[in-house]
Amino acid sequence: MAVEKVRFVGEPVAAVIADSPEIAQKGVEAIKVEYEDLPAVFDVYDAIKKDAPLVHENLGKYKVLEEFNPIPGTNIFHHYKVVKGDIEKGFKESDLIIENEYEVPHISHVQLEPHGAIAQWFSNGELKIWSSSQSPFLVRGMLAKMYNISQSKIRVIIPYLGGGFGGKSDVTIEPLVSYIARSVWGRPVALFLDREEMFYGTVLGRGCRIKLKTGVKKDGTLLCAKIELYFNAGAYGEYGVSIVKGAGHNATGPYEIKHVQVDSYGIYTNLPFIGAFRGYGHPEVHFAMERQLDIIAEKLKIDPVQLRLKNCLTPGKENLIGQIIQPHNGDISACIKAVKKELNWEKEPPKRYDIKLLKRGKIKGKAICGFMKSPVMATNAASTAVVKFNEDASVNLAVSSIDMGQGSITALAQIAAETLKIPVEKVHTVRLADTEFSPYEWQTVASRATWAMGNAVMRACMDAIDKIKDTASQVLNVSKSELVYDGEKVFIKNNPDKYILLEKLVFGYMYEDGHTIGGQIVGIGRFIYPHLTFPDKKTGRGNLAAEWTFGAQGVEIEIDLRTAEIIVNKLVTAIDAGKIVNPQMARGQIVGAMVQGLGAALTEEIIYDSNGRIRNADLTDYKIPTYCDLSHTDFRVIFIETLQEDGPYGARSLAEHAIISIPPAIANAIFYATGINFYKIPITRDRLMKELMKLKEAK
């Protein structure tokens, strides 16, 4: 709840505990609050002015991690800077310099299931939390610090989630409901948000102004880029710090640029605060970079696809933060070429129409954009899995990855089955994450479940197999190296007829006289990427990314000149996510992300009044795409499978990525068809109509 002052409309100031929602509502109505009006700031550029009202006057006294860089006495809670090469030299050597400003608004996650939590304190001082959270161990850690108690006294239980998209990875309502529950020890207290409260009571996403100045050679070589990112993080900056960093170190997208300077700022304002949202800083910077590339291509009269192919990060090239792309990291060129083929780009390139000569009818547009994403995560982000054999040689798989519709539980079961060489039906995955019993998982974020937890699962299974062989070697009186495990039995490599069935090994082997050796087979697997580092304090560079997933996206649209309706006929994503563990579920994730990207491109935007109150905090006025909008859209998904060396069976992340470049692709398709440049999304029908009218009226 608010401490000393309220920093945004919707911040909790009081709470009522009651036996029913109706009684609670009456209690709320009985509360009278006297407010003193204070100066407020809502725009990032206003917030960084010298005389701007401070959202947090005591910023300089806050305890922060070493890698954070707040600027006391301002509203800038984090400044992340990246320097590569010599930016001034780059601009001097450039044949063409393009400078533009782009804007991505605040948007809402609109998960199917609103956020909720239940808290219960016990007489022994223990706290139990049930929550629809993506991050049970983060919740436990935060509450332990908040109440200054041992983490062992806090139990967090997570069921299935009805959607997350990053919006349930922040710790938001759990501190509030647990604090309230202290008033009624022994009784559970529940807090479930309604749809309007979801706009204020959890987190929003995005909200960024991007200034991009790009220098290029006549042949299309991207030589330099000066990038300024201004994130409107709202009243609090907990998760905003990582978003500022993640966007900053991926600001050039999937392209090699020799000279770069990035200044990424997290800025406090008196608006609801932002948190993780599918894409995590990447859609913002890609919107600017991919739009800029098509503007450059037209200026240089170069095909925009060839411009991308010329500059993309192929093996041997250095990315923005100094890491060298390896062959196993993926093939961005293959992705771009696959989308190009799918859109029949060679035979039917995009066409520019003379709008002044067209009074009505429909015109067509198409565009192709690249994308790249790395998981933005802590250097000590760890995953642990446990595999326990049952008497019949089936297994129970325990993980704390949260399944929120993305299908990670199924994918992890498949990885376990593949490693153990047993049917997937014999793998029972424990579906309830419980910090008292479940193994540790940092968070289910950053599209890392299949990659990170998948590695832990694979290692747990290998550990179990090793222990099975250990018991079998004693029975068969040979070394483990002479044994072969095939999922049904363990046999001697050079004497296959000499074997022991798994059922006789996995709970200990009993000899004919009754004495038994071994015991239940339990495999433990741990995974942590060992090479991540903090950014260099001077350059902002370092080993900041554990892996990359590259891809490309294309769109084909029609524009109704009479109504300004944008009809999306085709959406294409080619993605190199390594080995695809479950193609059907992977396709579902990619199509879902494309739909979310389309919403961001055309309709979704949080609208505020002059006092910072959200005007469209409901699903009547906050428009998301529905089946009716997309029933005619042809979704195409293409998998390019370059195997990741350190991924489970070559897999890497894919769940977030297909949201990233749909907005710039839509904007570029409109640009090629009409010549209209949109630097801000969403491109709503009224905004497009205004620009079309300007073209028609131009002399």
DSSP for 503-542 reads: GGTTEEEEPTTS-EEEEE-EEEEEEE-TT--PPPTTT--S
Q: Is the domain of 511 the same as that of 467?
A: yes
Q: Is the domain of 167 the same as that of 311?
A: no
The CB-side HSE value for 246 (13 A sphere, CA atoms) comes to 27
Residues 6+ apart with CB under 8 A from 676: 670, 688, 691, 692, 695
Q: Is the domain of 586 the same as that of 524?
A: no
Q: Is the domain of 304 the same as that of 442?
A: no
Number of neighbouring beta carbons within 10 Å of residue 21: 11
Nearest by Cα to 115 from 153, 154, 159: 159
Q: Is residue 98 part of a domain?
A: no
Q: How high is the pLDDT of residue 359?
A: 66
Q: How high is the pLDDT of residue 53?
A: 98
CA dist., res. 376 & res. 243, Å (int) = 8
Eight-class DSSP state of 462: H
Joined together, the tokens standing for residue 174 give 């759990």
Joined together, the tokens standing for residue 244 give 């500022």
Q: Is the domain of 495 the same as that of 591?
A: no
Single-letter amino acid, residue 149: I
How many distinct helices (H) and strands (E) make up the chain? 16, 23
Q: How far apart are the first and last CA of the chain?
A: 58
Q: How high is the pLDDT of residue 360?
A: 72
φ, ψ at 140 (rounded to 5°): -60, -45
CA dist., res. 254 & res. 313, Å (int) = 6
φ, ψ at 201 (rounded to 5°): -90, -10
Q: Is the domain of 284 the same as that of 348?
A: yes
Q: Is residue 497 part of a domain?
A: yes
Nearest by Cα to 292 from 265, 255, 339: 255
Q: Is residue 50 part of a domain?
A: no
CA dist., res. 142 & res. 127, Å (int) = 13
Final residue in a domain of this structure, among 174, 201, 228: 201
Q: Is the domain of 226 the same as that of 333?
A: yes
Sheet with strand 189-192: strands edge to edge: 189-192, 116-121, 127-131, 154-158, 433-434
CB-based contact 118:177 (threshold 8 Å) = yes
Number of neighbouring beta carbons within 10 Å of residue 110: 18
CA dist., res. 238 & res. 199, Å (int) = 17
Final residue in a domain of this structure, among 201, 236, 262: 201
Q: How high is the pLDDT of residue 353?
A: 83
Q: Is residue 80 part of a domain?
A: no
CA dist., res. 18 & res. 31, Å (int) = 14
Widest distance between CA atoms in the chain: 102
CB-based contact 236:203 (threshold 8 Å) = no
Residues 6+ apart with CB under 8 A from 694: none
Q: Is the domain of 568 the same as that of 606?
A: yes
| 682 upstream amide cis, omega within 30 of 0 | yes
Range of the domain at 687: 205-318+329-377+534-697
Single-letter amino acid, residue 348: E
Q: Is the domain of 308 the same as that of 189?
A: no
Distances (CA, A) of 524 to 46, 155, 399, 598: 53, 22, 11, 42
Q: In this structure, are strands 516-520 and 507-510 parallel, antiparallel, or unpaired?
A: antiparallel
Single-letter amino acid, residue 107: I
> Residues 352-363, buried b or exposed e (16+ Cβ, 10 A)?
ebebeeeeeeeb
Nearest by Cα to 388 from 419, 422, 425, 427: 427
Helix (H, G, I), strand (E, B) or coil at 46: helix
CB-based contact 600:664 (threshold 8 Å) = no
CB-based contact 278:309 (threshold 8 Å) = no
Residues 6+ apart with CB under 8 A from 505: 468, 471, 472, 475, 490, 518, 521
Joined together, the tokens standing for residue 34 give 């006297």
Eight-class DSSP state of 208: E
φ, ψ at 358 (rounded to 5°): -110, 110
Q: Is residue 243 part of a domain?
A: yes
Q: How high is the pLDDT of residue 238?
A: 84
E strand residue ranges, 74-185 = 76-84, 96-107, 116-121, 127-131, 154-158
Joined together, the tokens standing for residue 228 give 């300024």
Nearest by Cα to 1 from 46, 37, 27, 33: 33
CA dist., res. 306 & res. 315, Å (int) = 18
CA dist., res. 500 & res. 690, Å (int) = 77
CA dist., res. 123 & res. 210, Å (int) = 52
Q: Is the domain of 463 the same as that of 544?
A: no
- CATH number, domain containing residue 500: 3.30.365.10
Q: Is residue 53 part of a domain?
A: no
Sign of CA dihedral 451, 452, 455, 456: negative
Q: Is residue 587 part of a domain?
A: yes
Eight-class DSSP state of 487: S
Final residue in a domain of this structure, among 494, 528, 562: 528
Instruction: Identify the residue whose tokens are 């089936």.
Output: 394
Distances (CA, A) of 118 to 121, 157, 447: 10, 10, 27
**Structural domains of the chain, count:** 4
Nearest by Cα to 597 from 381, 286, 322: 286
Residues 6+ apart with CB under 8 A from 317: 256, 324, 325
CB-based contact 673:364 (threshold 8 Å) = yes
Q: Is residue 46 part of a domain?
A: no
Joined together, the tokens standing for residue 333 give 């060129």
Q: Is the domain of 495 the same as that of 540?
A: no
CA dist., res. 456 & res. 648, Å (int) = 9
Q: Is the domain of 612 the same as that of 641?
A: yes
Mean pLDDT by 10 residues, the chain (699 residues): 92 94 95 95 98 96 88 97 98 99 98 96 97 97 97 96 93 95 96 94 96 99 99 94 95 98 98 96 98 98 98 97 95 98 95 77 96 93 97 97 92 98 96 94 93 97 98 96 97 96 96 93 96 92 93 98 96 98 97 98 98 97 94 97 96 96 98 96 98 83
